[in-house]
Amino acid sequence: MHGLTLRQIRAFLVTVELGSVAAAARNLGLTQPAVGQQLRELEGQLRVRLFEKVGTRLHPTPAGQALLEPAREVMAALTHLQETGTRFRAGDAGHIRLGTGATACIYFLPERLRRVRQSLPGVEIAVSTGNTAPMLQALMEGTLDAALVTGGPDEVPTSLVAELLFHDPLMALLPHPLADALPETLSPADLAAHPLLLHARGSVTRNLVDRWFQEGGHGVVPGMEFDSIAAIRELVAAGLGCAIVPGMAARVPHPELVARPLSPALTRPICLVLRANQVPDAALRLLAAELRAAKP
């Protein structure tokens, strides 16, 4: 039974419909002997006669009648398979599992995701947030399809490939009264003299900030630590201190906040990471194109 082919099943169904091997051959674009051979092979596999001649037409035998419905189900399943593949290739269906940092999820991704959904409304997008290391692990394990991470292309495992999208400048975030007393460009010494609200330890962004202060000759003594840049923004606005946050978050307007550049400048690389052996579908290709075209 393992020798059955879709060509044999299709030849059987078309012959039943048209009543002759010659008509089936014309319909299928084959020679009459080729269709006859497919029907004989099918009968040989099934060990039953499928047709009998009544007058000038071929009619299915009782066995052939019994096989009509399962044969049609096979062809319907094939059609569904082909249509599903076509929809995925065209981006009319699909599922993107994207990992990203919370800051990018809030301040950078929404417009890009909106554009993808607008172009491909049939695509489901699931976004999970976290730090870089666990997202890369999830990508290697296949539970994510792509990750937008902080870190350079040379910092990912060899089973992954990272594409640098842009460098996001980190900026000082100040409440209005404090901003009036500080210069337009801020050094480690300028900020170390004030309460610091910093991102939680262990993140790539926090490591960059710690190194920036150390290289400027100042240890970091955070007044408070948070795992949310959005929370840091609100507490700075409330006058509880100053902060260093990603530019994509610093530039979002707020009536109580002022963003200032750092000196020396400090940036964090933002990369799109995929599996090295991955073949992106249309939806993932569109998302990647939107990310490449965008700057925060």
Topology match between the domains 6-90 and 94-166+269-293: no
Look-up of token digits 């993932």: 284
| Rg of the Cα atoms in the chain | 32
CATH of domain 94-166+269-293: 3.40.190.10
Give pLDDT, residue 274: 96
Query: Residue 296 above 70 pLDDT?
Result: no
With a cut of 50, say whether residue 142 has pLDDT above it.
yes
Q: Is the pLDDT of residue 89 over 60?
A: yes
Share of the chain above pLDDT 90, in %: 69
Predicted confidence (pLDDT) per residue in 245-293, tens digit: 999 999 999 999 999 999 999 999 999 999 998 888 888 989 999 999 9
pLDDT at 221 (0 to 100): 78
Question: Which CATH number does the domain 6-90 belong to among 3.40.50.1390, 3.30.420.40, 3.30.70.60, 1.10.10.10?
Answer: 1.10.10.10
Please tell me the predicted confidence (pLDDT) of residue 78.
80
CA dist., res. 106 & res. 116, Å (int): 16
- Domain map of the chain by residue range? 6-90, 94-166+269-293, 168-267
Q: Average the pLDDT over 221-244 and give the result.
A: 92
CA atoms within 13 A on the CB side of 284: 22
Give mean pLDDT, residues 120-146. 91
Instruction: Find where tokens 């000082």 sit.
Output: 172
**Class of domain 168-267 as given by CATH:** alpha beta
Place 1 in a pLDDT band, splitting at 50, 70 and 90: very low
- Is residue 147 within 8 Å of residue 100, measured between CB atoms? yes
Q: What is the pLDDT of residue 87?
A: 59
Of all residues in the chain, what percent carry a pLDDT higher than 70? 95
Residue type, 108: F
- Does residue 263 contact residue 182 with C-beta atoms inside 8 Å? no
Predicted confidence band at 59 (pLDDT cuts at 50, 70, 90)?
Answer: very high
Contact predicate 59/19, CB 8 Å: yes
Where do the H-state alpha helices sit in 130-170?
A: 132-141
Q: How far is CA 212 from CA 186, 193, 223, in A?
A: 12, 15, 17
**First-to-last CA distance in the chain?**
59
When pLDDT is averaged across residues 74-79 and rounded to a whole number, the result is 81
pLDDT in tens, 7-50: 999 999 999 999 999 999 999 999 999 999 999 999 999 999 99
What's the CA gap between 13 and 64, in Å, rounded?
Answer: 10
Which has the higher per-residue pLDDT, 34 or 204? 34
Task: Name the pLDDT band for 83 (thresholds 50, 70, 90).
Answer: low
